[in-house]
C-alpha cells in the first residue's frame, strides 16, 4: 500500500473529509475508553515553530488512541542547529516512528519531508502556506453547528496574506460549494496563487467588491474579494456589495501574523475593528458563528466567549477527535471512503526556473534541495512545494 500524506487540504477529496468527520464523531464518544486502537504505534512530533493547540491536540490524540509520542519541539536543542538538513532529519525520524507531524517555518517543508520520509507525514503548518489539519477542525466545527458545508456564506477576516489557516480553509470551503468573502487587513490580502487555486478548486469566480452598508463597523467602504458561483444571491451590482442586507453563516477571524511580516510591514497595526458584541449585533452577523484558529490577541473581545455564537474554544477542543480520526486513517486502522482522491503530479524544474517565494524550502540553503528533488506542479508554472509562482531567469 502506498503511504498517504496530508500536506495540503487539496490532498483529500470531499468524500474523504466527510468520512473523517464520521470517524471523529465516533472518536469523540471513545475519547476516554482505553481501546488502544493505535497501540504499538509511535508518532514523531517535530515542531520547529511555536505551537500550543496543534502539538498538544496531536499528542493528546495519539495518547488517547493508546499510541506513543516522541517530540522535538525546540530546534535549538536538535541537530538542526548543527546544520543538518530537513531531509536527513525526517529520513531518520521516519525510521524511529510510524507517522511524522511536522511544523516548520518554511513554506513547502512538509511536502519535502513527505517525499523523503518512509512514513506518512502530516503538515501541522508550513510557513505562511497551509495548515490543513486546522482546516479539518474548522470544517468539522462549522458542520456540527450549521449542519452542512455547502451553500454557506463565510467571511474570512484579518491577515489573509500570511494566515496559513485561511489559505487551506478558503480552498476547502469553495471546494465544498460554499461562498467565501475575504475582508483583509489593508495590504494583507489572500495571495494571488491561492485565489487562482480557489477558482480552480471550487469552479468559482472571484469578484473584487466594495463592501457597503457597514460604515458603522468599517468607517469607510472596504474592499473585499468574494468567491461565489451565484453573485445574484449576494445582490452584487457592478462591484458594490451591500452587506447590510445579507445574512452570513460564519466569520473566521485571524490575528496579524507578526512573525511573518516583511520588514516593511512590521510597524503595521490592525486596521479592522475587533469582533465584539456591538459588531455581532449588526444584522449580517446575527446568526453567524465566530471561529478563530487561536491564539487570539485582541481581534475578538472576551465578551464574545460567553456568546453562544463564539465557537473558537469548542473548535479547538474538537481538534482532538479530528486528529484521532486522521492518525487512525493514515495509519490504516480506520477505513474511509476516499472518493476521487486528487493526484498531484509533478515535473522536474527546468534549469532556468525558480520559485518566487523567498520563504519556500527550496530557497533555503540549509535544506539543500537540489537536482531531481526540485519539482514544479505538472501542467503549470507553480512550485510543487509551496504552490507559489515560478519565474524564469
The CB-of-207 to ligand NCD minimum distance in angstroms stands at 27
The CB-of-54 to ligand NCD minimum distance in angstroms stands at 4
The CB-of-319 to ligand NCD minimum distance in angstroms stands at 8
The CB-of-303 to ligand NCD minimum distance in angstroms stands at 21
Select the residue interacting with ligand NCD from 19, 44, 67, 125 (CB under 6 A): 125
Q: Which stretch binds ligand NCD (CB under 6 A): 82-90, 291-299, 306-314, 381-389?
A: 291-299
Q: Does 161 bind ligand NCD (CB under 6 A)?
A: no
Q: Does 54 bind ligand NCD (CB under 6 A)?
A: yes
Among 208, 212, 291, 207, which residue's Cα sits nearest to residue 245?
A: 212
259 to 288, contacts with ligand NCD by CB under 6 A?
A: none
The CB-of-388 to ligand NCD minimum distance in angstroms stands at 18
Which cell is 204 given?
A: 468559482
Residue 6 and residue 120 in contact, taking contact as beta carbons nearer than 8 Å: yes
User: Does the CA dihedral 157-160-164-169 come out positive or negative?
Assistant: positive
- For residue 90, give the 3-state DSSP assignment: helix
Q: Does 53 bind ligand NCD (CB under 6 A)?
A: yes
Give the C-alpha separation, 342 to 337, whole Å.
Answer: 13
203 to 262, contacts with ligand NCD by CB under 6 A?
A: 254-255
Cis omega (within 30 of 0) for bond into 94: no
Residue 42 or 56 with smaller CB distance to ligand NCD: 56
Among 157, 137, 151, which residue's Cα sits nearest to residue 251?
A: 157
φ, ψ dihedrals at 20, nearest 5°: -65, -35
Q: Give, for 125, the enclosing helix (H) or strand (E).
A: strand 121-126
Angle between helices 86-96 and 109-116 (to 10 degrees): 50
Q: Does 310 bind ligand NCD (CB under 6 A)?
A: no
With CB atoms as reference, the residue minimizing the distance to ligand NCD is: 293
Select the residue interacting with ligand NCD from 165, 178, 228, 375 (CB under 6 A): 165
The CB-of-205 to ligand NCD minimum distance in angstroms stands at 28
What does R_g of the chain's alpha carbons equal in angstroms?
Answer: 21
Residue 219 or 295 with smaller CB distance to ligand NCD: 295
Select the residue interacting with ligand NCD from 45, 134, 168, 363 (CB under 6 A): 134
Which cell is 125 given?
A: 503548518
The CB-of-342 to ligand NCD minimum distance in angstroms stands at 23
Q: Does 115 bind ligand NCD (CB under 6 A)?
A: no
Residue 234 and residue 247 in contact, taking contact as beta carbons nearer than 8 Å: no
The CB-of-53 to ligand NCD minimum distance in angstroms stands at 5
**What DSSP string runs through 339-387?**
-SPPP--EEEPPTTEEES-TTBGGG-GGG---GGG-EEETTSSBBTTT-
- Point out which residues bind ligand NCD (CB under 6 A): 53-54, 125, 131, 134, 164-165, 254-255, 293-295
Amino acid at each position: 500500500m502506498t503511504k498517504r500524506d496530508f500536506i495540503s487540504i487539496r490532498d483529500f477529496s470531499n468524500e474523504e473529509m466527510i468520512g473523517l468527520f464520521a470517524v471523529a464523531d465516533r472518536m469523540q464518544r471513545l475519547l476516554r475508553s482505553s481501546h488502544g486502537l493505535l497501540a504499538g504505534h509511535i508518532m514523531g512530533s517535530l515542531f520547529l515553530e511555536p505551537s500550543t493547540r496543534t502539538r498538544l491536540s496531536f499528542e493528546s490524540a495519539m495518547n488517547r488512541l493508546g499510541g506513543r509520542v516522541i517530540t522535538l519541539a525546540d530546534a535549538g536543542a536538535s541537530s538542526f542547529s548543527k546544520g543538518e538538513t530537513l531531509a536527513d532529519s525526517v529520513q531518520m525520524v521516519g525510521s524511529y516512528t510510524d507517522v511524522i507531524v511536522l511544523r516548520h517555518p518554511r513554506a513547502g517543508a512538509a511536502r519535502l519531508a513527505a517525499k523523503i520520509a518512509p512514513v506518512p507525514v502530516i503538515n501541522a503548518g508550513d510557513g505562511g502556506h497551509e495548515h490543513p489539519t486546522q482546516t479539518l477542525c474548522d470544517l468539522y466545527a462549522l458542520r456540527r453547528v450549521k449542519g452542512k458545508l455547502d451553500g454557506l456564506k463565510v467571511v474570512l477576516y484579518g491577515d489573509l496574506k500570511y494566515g496559513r489557516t485561511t489559505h487551506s480553509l478558503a480552498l476547502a470551503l469553495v471546494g465544498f460549494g460554499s461562498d467565501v468573502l475575504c475582508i483583509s487587513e489593508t495590504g494583507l490580502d489572500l495571495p494571488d496563487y491561492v485565489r487562482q487555486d480557489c477558482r480552480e478548486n471550487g469552479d468559482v469566480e472571484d469578484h473584487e467588491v466594495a463592501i457597503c452598508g457597514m460604515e458603522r463597523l468599517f468607517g469607510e467602504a472596504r474592499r473585499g474579494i468574494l468567491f461565489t458561483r451565484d453573485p445574484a444571491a449576494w445582490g452584487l451590482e457592478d462591484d458594490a456589495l451591500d452587506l447590510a442586507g445579507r445574512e452570513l453563516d460564519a466569520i473566521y477571524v485571524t490575528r496579524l501574523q507578526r512573525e511573518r511580516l516583511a520588514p516593511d510591514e512590521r510597524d503595521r497595526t490592525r486596521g479592522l475593528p475587533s469582533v465584539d458584541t456591538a459588531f455581532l449585533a449588526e444584522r449580517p452577523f446575527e446568526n453567524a458563528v465566530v471561529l478563530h484558529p487561536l491564539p487570539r490577541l485582541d481581534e475578538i473581545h472576551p465578551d464574545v466567549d460567553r456568546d453562544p455564537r463564539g465557537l473558537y474554544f469548542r473548535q479547538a477542543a474538537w481538534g482532538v477527535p479530528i486528529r484521532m480520526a486522521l492518525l487512525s486513517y493514515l495509519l490504516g486502522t480506520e477505513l474511509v471512503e476516499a472518493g476521487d482522491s486528487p493526484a498531484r503530479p509533478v515535473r522536474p524544474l527546468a534549469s532556468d526556473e525558480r520559485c518566487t517565494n523567498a520563504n519556500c524550502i527550496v530557497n533555503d540553503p540549509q535544506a539543500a534541495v537540489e537536482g531531481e528533488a526540485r519539482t514544479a506542479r505538472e501542467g503549470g508554472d507553480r512550485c510543487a512545494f509551496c504552490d507559489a509562482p515560478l519565474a524564469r531567469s
